[in-house]
Amino acid sequence: MLSLLKHLPQSLIKISAVTTFFSAACMSHAQTSHTELSSEQATPKPPETISVLPLEDLRVFTRAFELIRTSYIDEIDDRTLLEYAIKGMLDELDPHSSYLNKNSYDDLKKLTSGEFGGLGVEIGTQNGFIKIISPIDDTPAQKAGIKAGDLVIKIDGSPIKNNNIGKAIEKMRGDVGTKITLTITREGVKNPFDVDIVRDIIKVRSVRSDVIDQHFGYFRISQFQVNTGKDLKNEIEKIRAINTDLHGVILDLRNNPGGVLMASIEVADVFINEDLIVYTEGRIKEANNQFFATPGEQFSGIPIVVLINGGSASASEIVAGALQDHKRAIILGEQSFGKGSVQKSIEITPERAIKITTSRYFTPLGRSIQAEGIQPDIVVEPAQIIPLEVQKRITEADLSGHLTNNKTSGNDSSLQTIIENNATLQRDNQLYEAVNILRGLHLYNRSHQAHTQH
């Protein structure tokens, strides 16, 4: 091989050295990190075997490289061209592998910590366009009406198709307070339309909680960050301080694009007792892992409903799939996104990295979610709940001389009352159905226990 290098162009020798270093960096980092988005620095070390490209293929690459260097209309330095080459390789692998320059790498590290600048969307690519996987809660994108599944075809009037997707994504970043116009195509909408969004600092609050109808704990996870598991436990303590007599729990993972793999493990561990949560399989030994719950669960004996939709991806699907396989929760809503792969960010310089897919994950029963998604146990499409006006009916209370009721039940918690008094449930039919199911399960369990005692 060394003798062959003497006859190759100098630029090819440089490229071969870079490729060897790049391969070593990928191998060594895969042995040190299991988080989905890891920003740890890898110490490159040579892999046991390095595959050698056929000489003719190397000559083709070198010829193309030299032609671009010497013939392109503008002069481009070798380092930039090599970065383009790396980026091109990654862009062709899958929608989730990518080259991270300084800005992109900084954004990734901020994203996992929960604060970053931009619009507030998780994105992928589809047919040369930017696809919105999910808008993030309480961000400019969500407030502007961006929805999961939207395709961005233009940015500030410039078409994206067949152009550099990476540059288009970088264009979405900008100074806080500046406006950007996205041209969107949406399923069910005939023509493309423009959405104006003002960039802002995105501070993602990973977990929110509430109590619905006095006895149902509601936990919303918008994104899986490094501290999401800890944040969820803190929110559970807050809810239990309000009401210790919970009849059911709702875990809302809708429009949650995923995030840190270990955070999803920690969240699933809250609801599962000593069972397999997820396992991963990849080409290298270090990519094959199993993750188990620890003893004890937070809501033993309390029914759980998990809400998902087309914006629920990756780590969200790990949690929903684990609870579904263990029959620990009813999954309600729509089919999830179907991102069943794990990415690792691999630092190749202090300011640059690659994000590369290293493994697929599987639910405890061996289901791969990749391009399939989680199928809900109960399908509920989004709809608006509008109480119908009905003509006043004559009841016993309307009859002259009716007997009075000397006792009052003091129970005014019918579902109709909930809808009328709770604007959130009236707007959100999927959440309403989750409450409906939990109320039914509680009533059934209570009557079953009473029957058993007699």
- In the set 107, 137, 231, 325, the catalytic residue is 325
For the question of residue 51 being annotated catalytic, the response is: no
In whole angstroms, what is the distance from residue 132 CA to residue 386 CA? 30
Specify whether 325 is catalytic.
yes
114: number of Cβ within 10 Å: 19
Is residue 147 part of the annotated active site? The answer reads no
Indicate which residue of 16, 206, 312, 339 is catalytic: 339
Given the residues 104, 209, 312, 314, select the one marked as catalytic. 314
Catalytic site residues?
A: 314, 325, 339
